[in-house]
Amino acid sequence: MKALEEIVYEAGRHALADQESLVTAIRQRTGALVAAHALVASFFGASTLSDDGLLTWSWIALASLLVGLVVAAVLLAPWRLRFAVDAHVLYQQLYDEHAPGAASDSPVWLMAAAFAYQKVRDENAPRVHAMSVLSAVLSAVLVLQTLAWVVQLAS
């Protein structure tokens, strides 16, 4: 049976890995949404252009396309995220803090490592949340663009 310290350590390590997976999924979804933006703009945009030029709904659609591209660029830009603990730094910190009073197989080491994983995850959390919100905005802007093109096409 695993000790509580081992369970906490593994939970911290898995939580950080889950956060990394979420960021990867957001970036993959961003690529798909950019392709969808381009596809919608190319199909509907060409159909809605009239001899009168761009009308109101066409401008709204183009503006939402532009906003979507900017949001996608922000999402795909490098963010300052870490998904690993520097082993050398962690070892030195743990050794300095716990070596004098603990045996090498002491579970205190595992708990300290788990807390290090949690600290990295907590540092990433605001940026990961911002990425999630931007991803939702990108999806909403795609819907707005599509509706604007459809309304323009119908009128």
Q: Determine the structural domain holding residue 68 and report its residue range.
A: 4-154
**3-state SS assignment for residue 50:** strand
Q: Which two tokens stand for residue 143?
A: 């819907």
Which residue in the block uniquely carries the two structure tokens 């070596």? Answer: 99
Q: How many domains does the chain have?
A: 1
Helix 4-48 vs helix 56-76: crossing angle, to nearest 10: 150
Strand ranges in 7-153 using DSSP code E only, listed in sequence order: none
Predicted confidence (pLDDT) at residue 20 exceeds the cutoff of 80: yes
Mean pLDDT score of the chain: 83
Could you tell me the pTM of the whole model? 0.77
Task: Report the distance separating Cα 13 and Cα 9, nearest Å.
Answer: 6
Percent of the chain topping pLDDT 70? 80
